[in-house]
Amino acid sequence: TAFTQKKTLAEALAQAAAATARAATALSDNQALQTAGQTLNARAATVAAEFPALEKAAAEKTAAVAAPTAAMQAATTALEAAHQKTAPLTESLFAEEAKAAAARSTHMDLQLQQTSLQARMDAAGRINSLIEAQAAEVTAQQLVASRQTLAVAATQSMTEGKTLVESMEQARQQAAETRTAAAAAEKTAAANAAQAARLQTLLKEATESLAQAAASSPNVVPDTVTSALQTRLNAATGTASTMASAAAVATEKMAAADAALLQATEKLQAAQAELTRRQTAAATAEADVTAARQQFNTAVTAAATAAEPIPADLAARFALAPLKPLSPEQLCWTVFRVTTVYDRYVAAEEAELSKTEPLTEQLQQDPAAMTARAVQLEQRAWDKLKGNLGSFVSMYGGAPGQPQTDFYASPDQALFTANGSAINSWVAPAGGNATERIIKATDARTAAEELYLGILTRMPTEEEVDDVTAFLAARPDRSRAAQELVWGLLSSAEFRFNH
């Protein structure tokens, strides 16, 4: 209140005036202190003169607020009584609210888990669809190859059929020509046989007539005539028999030519029918190839469509990450990790602390104490290694005011990795690092696996295994070769990028 404030001020002024008076007495020649004391005494007197009025006003105000104060106290008592009555209900309400809050939290967790599970199921479904689409694409590609093989075979068969038809046409032409020649020979032979038969008949009739005449008049027909005529008859008979045989042979040849022509015609017709069938099969095979190619194109489109949303979907759920360079700090500590430099520093600090600050058996069984010791070891190792960060930041960090996440390569970086004494010392065989494991590897494949698993945390490809094998075989100093291999991967773009 104003009265209290004035009273406090008066007391402070009185104390200050007394202190000033004591100082003025001690320093009687100091006029400034005496003046200050007089001023304080005057101010204190002024404030004291205001006390009666303020005290009266304070009494009046106190009397005025007495009734409201009593009413407020009564109301407060009633309120406290009501509060005591409602306290159990309030506690119960708070307990139920806590249960409800826990239930809501559990419900939200379950909803989140359900959403996450559903998202994973959706992603898995899309991946399965992609796998099925890719399998269908492979099947369609195999079908195209199979159909093309059948089409080539059908085309070759059709070509062979055409060749066969041409051969059959030539055979039929030859058979037709043979039949024509046989028909002409048969006709000639028949004419010759008929002429010989007529001559034989005439000579036979003449011989029989002479024989009858000689029988009637023995001396009328000379024997020489009869003998000559008989000779001619015998010759004509032989000729007729020969011509008849030739005609029979010609007839047989004609029949054989007819049969050969018929057979050649039938073979030609069969070959033509087979050619038609093969042409139809070739056309069908080409149509199948076209359909298979269309099916393959459809499968390729379906696979591309199925694959399109997957990268963005996985990236949104942090299953994928964009390719980006390690920060200078990340690169520094990654080098320390893969070369076991960090592990060796931690081991050294642990050995030192075990001597200077050993843990009791009881503390060694205390998880909190062991965690604190691990943190202490990491901090001590960090303190000794952090001086190397400056080199990496200056070499791999962006210039002031430039983006620090952009990737760039510079000659200084190449010189740093190629000639830096620190890096050369870090890749030296020690502490079971990749270099040491490569040296101890019993075969080149094991050495390649130790190299790529130790530096890039992946298995090497067959080509990389061959490269490592050739590299080690070409260098007699295995220790130096192992260090060069490790240095090569530490200097690679793959090591610098988070992928």
Average pLDDT estimate for 135-144: 89
When pLDDT is cut at 50, 70 and 90, the band that residue 416 belongs to is confident
Q: 278-324, pLDDT tens digit by residue?
A: 889 999 989 999 998 999 899 889 888 888 887 777 666 655 556 78
Beta carbons within 8 Å of 429's beta carbon, 6+ residues apart: 435, 436, 439, 479, 482, 483
Q: What is the pLDDT of residue 47?
A: 67
Q: Which two tokens stand for residue 41?
A: 């005494």
When pLDDT is cut at 50, 70 and 90, the band that residue 106 belongs to is confident
Q: Which two tokens stand for residue 146?
A: 């199979």
Q: What is the pLDDT of residue 217?
A: 65
Give SS3 for 458.
coil
Most confident stretch, 106-110, 190-194, 260-264, 377-381: 377-381
Q: How far apart are CA 282 and CA 157, in angstroms?
A: 8
Beta carbons within 8 Å of 168's beta carbon, 6+ residues apart: 264, 267, 268, 271, 272
- Minimum mean pLDDT range among 2-6, 297-301, 455-459, 469-473: 2-6
Number of other CB atoms surrounding residue 431 within 10 Å: 15
Beta carbons within 8 Å of 295's beta carbon, 6+ residues apart: 140, 143, 144
Which uninterrupted H or E stretch holds 175? helix 51-216
Q: 47-71, pLDDT tens digit by residue?
A: 667 667 766 776 777 777 777 777 7
For residues 207 and 229, the answer to whether their CB atoms sit within 8 Å is: yes
Q: What is the pLDDT of residue 13?
A: 64
Q: What is the pLDDT of residue 77?
A: 82
Sequential DSSP letters for 217-244 = -TTTS-HHHHHHHHHHHHHHHHHHHHHH
Q: How far apart are CA 496 and CA 412, in angstroms?
A: 15
For residues 396 and 328, the answer to whether their CB atoms sit within 8 Å is: yes
Which uninterrupted H or E stretch holds 69? helix 51-216
The pLDDT of residue 499 is above 70 = no
Q: What is the pLDDT of residue 218?
A: 63
Q: What is the pLDDT of residue 88?
A: 81
Residue in the block written with tokens 């696979």: 303
The pLDDT of residue 133 is above 90 = no
Residue in the block written with tokens 């600050």: 357
How far, CA to CA in Å, does 497 sit from each of 230, 389, 491? Answer: 127, 18, 11
Average pLDDT estimate for 18-35: 67
When pLDDT is cut at 50, 70 and 90, the band that residue 429 belongs to is very high
Q: 339-396, pLDDT tens digit by residue?
A: 999 999 999 999 999 999 898 888 888 888 899 999 999 999 999 998 888 888 888 8
Q: What is the pLDDT of residue 352?
A: 92
Higher-confidence residue of 109 and 283: namely 283
Q: 80-96, pLDDT tens digit by residue?
A: 777 788 778 777 877 88
- Of 485, 495, 493, residue with least CA distance to 437: 485
Q: What is the pLDDT of residue 75?
A: 76
The pLDDT of residue 400 is above 70 = no
Q: What is the pLDDT of residue 443?
A: 92
Sequential DSSP letters for 474-498 = T-S-HHHHHHHHHHHHHTSHHHHEE
Q: How far apart are CA 133 and CA 296, in angstroms?
A: 11
Give SS3 for 428.
coil
The pLDDT of residue 196 is above 80 = no
Which uninterrupted H or E stretch holds 324? strand 324-325
**Average pLDDT for the chain:** 82
Number of other CB atoms surrounding residue 328 within 10 Å: 19
Crossing angle of the two packed helices 51-216 and 309-316, in degrees rounded to 10: 150
Query: Based on C-alpha coordinates, what's the Rg of the chain?
Result: 63
Q: For 147-316, which CATH class?
A: mainly alpha
Q: pTM (2 decimals)?
A: 0.41
When pLDDT is cut at 50, 70 and 90, the band that residue 272 belongs to is confident
The pLDDT of residue 28 is above 70 = no
| Percent of the residues in the chain that have a pLDDT greater than 90, as a whole number | 23
Q: How far apart are CA 496 and CA 499, in angstroms?
A: 9
For residues 393 and 326, the answer to whether their CB atoms sit within 8 Å is: no
| Percent of the residues in the chain that have a pLDDT greater than 70, as a whole number | 83
Q: 221-249, pLDDT tens digit by residue?
A: 566 766 776 787 677 778 878 878 877 88
Q: Where are the domains of the chain?
A: 1-109, 147-316, 328-339+382-496
Average pLDDT estimate for 250-255: 83
The pLDDT of residue 11 is above 60 = yes
The pLDDT of residue 215 is above 80 = no
Which uninterrupted H or E stretch holds 393? helix 389-396
